[in-house]
Amino acid sequence: MPEESVMRAVLALLVAAFGLPSLTAADVVVPVDSVQEFVNIRAEPDVDSDVIGRLYQGDNMPLVQSVDDWHEIRIEEGLNGYISADWTTVVTDADVQAVNTVVEPEPEEEIVKPEARLSE
């Protein structure tokens, strides 16, 4: 269908030209592997700022921007917080989903030895 190929081409051009964030993988912040349990989320990018939440190992939060040694994250609509860049890293949401995807191993075939058939 020519219309479908034209639509795909237009969409590809829009993504390339404007980087439409809703159509690409978003960046998220995750704790580094050495974090045992959680990292504090603070109200401001300062270690003396109030703790307003926690980012637990295995969870992620959307990145707003990185500022000096801090990542500004979106906790919920209208509420942002800051998390230390020393204890976190930025990855794409697609990377997180790929890590969380469980791949089931294929079952192994049962090997029947010829002598086992004779005894049946």
44 domain-assigned? yes
Domains in the chain, number: 1
Q: What range does the domain containing 42 cover?
A: 25-102
Q: For the domain that residue 62 is a member of, what is the CATH number? A: 2.30.30.40
Residue 113 lies in a domain: no
In a domain, 30, yes or no: yes
Return mean pLDDT, the chain: 78
Q: What is the pLDDT of residues 58-108, one digit of tens each?
A: 999 999 999 899 999 999 888 999 999 999 999 987 766 655 544 556 666
Whether residue 117 lies inside any domain: the answer is no
Q: Is residue 3 part of a domain?
A: no
CB 55 within 8 A of CB 31: yes
| CB of 91 closer than 8 Å to CB of 27 | yes
Bridge partners, residue 80, by sequence: 74
113 by DSSP, 3-state: which?
Answer: coil
Tokens of 20: 């439409």
Q: CA-CA distance, 67 to 85, in Å (whole number)?
A: 9
Answer whether residue 17 is part of any domain. no
**DSSP assignment of 43-98:** SSSSTTSPEEEEEETT--EEEEEEETTEEEEEEETTEEEEEETTSEEEEEHHHHHH
Is residue 13 over pLDDT 80? no
Q: Is residue 61 part of a domain?
A: yes
Q: Which pair of tokens denotes residue 44?
A: 């401001």
Q: Global pTM? A: 0.60
In a domain, 13, yes or no: no
